[in-house]
Amino acid sequence: MKSFLKYLPIIFLFLVGLSLSLKNAPALASGQSELSIYLPIIIDRVFINPGFEEGSIGWELQSNQGDNMVTTTESHAGLHSAALGNGASHRIASLSQVVTVPFDSYAVSYYQKITSTENCPSKNVVNVYINTHIYQHYNICSDSSSTDWVKKVIYLAPYTGQRVIFRLQFASSDSSGNHIYVDDFAFESP
């Protein structure tokens, strides 16, 4: 029932558009040759390919090591995830997607799995960019390691209603052994 409720505004707009179009139907009788129906444009509130099950579709993936970041080594749900950190030193890798931040669900959630043997604080960092600006950042070190997937939430309240580039970028130090996998991106209510 809850999933149905989120589509009520869309259904309402469709019915209003259809009603307005049908009011113009008598114009056909006066010699017009066609009836145009205009429906509202709906921007979906989801990430495209949020769990990387379709490879890199919907995502821009970049790595200074030229590797395929979509992997089956680890996954939260499904078979795939993205490897921001692959254990190599001096790695810079990012993933990004253009999204419209919903007014009512402006929290971006995703799952991450981190393994690191480097002491904290370290020079391994994940930067969260909105467009070209660092919005948040967090350290990757032994304190953030986990054998389980951990949910991470980034609140984007200042960007509600805006179309932005959401990007995660991992940069590792000169030490190796820092792994970070991310999976299952979504918008949710805060």
pLDDT of 63 > 90? The answer is: yes
The Cα-based distances of 23 to 9, 15, 41, 80 in angstroms read: 21, 12, 20, 50
pLDDT of 86 > 80? The answer is: yes
The pTM is what? 0.76
Percent of the chain with pLDDT over 70: 76
pLDDT of 27 > 70? The answer is: no
For the ranges 2-6, 105-109, 130-134, 147-151, which has the lowest average pLDDT?
2-6
Q: Which domains does the chain have, with CATH numbers?
A: 1-42 (no CATH), 60-188 (2.60.120.260)
Q: Tokens 């939260």 appear where?
A: 76
pLDDT of residue 176: 87
Encoding tokens for residue 65? 């090591």
Over residues 67-76, the mean pLDDT reads 96
- Given pLDDT bands bounded at 50, 70 and 90, which one contains residue 17? low
CA-nearest of 42, 160, 48 to 101 is: 160
How far is 105 from 30, CA to CA, in rounded Å? 47
CA-nearest of 116, 102, 126, 135 to 175 is: 116
Q: 159-177 pLDDT, tens per residue?
A: 999 999 999 999 998 888 8
CA-nearest of 64, 152, 59, 167 to 114 is: 152
How far is 162 from 183, CA to CA, in rounded Å? 23
Instruction: Write down the mean pLDDT value for the chain.
Output: 84
How far is 106 from 128, CA to CA, in rounded Å? 15
Q: 102-128 pLDDT, tens per residue?
A: 999 999 999 999 999 888 888 999 999
pLDDT of residue 15: 53
Q: Which runs of E-coded beta strand occur in the chain?
A: 60-63, 70-71, 81-86, 92-100, 107-115, 125-130, 133-139, 150-155, 163-171, 179-188
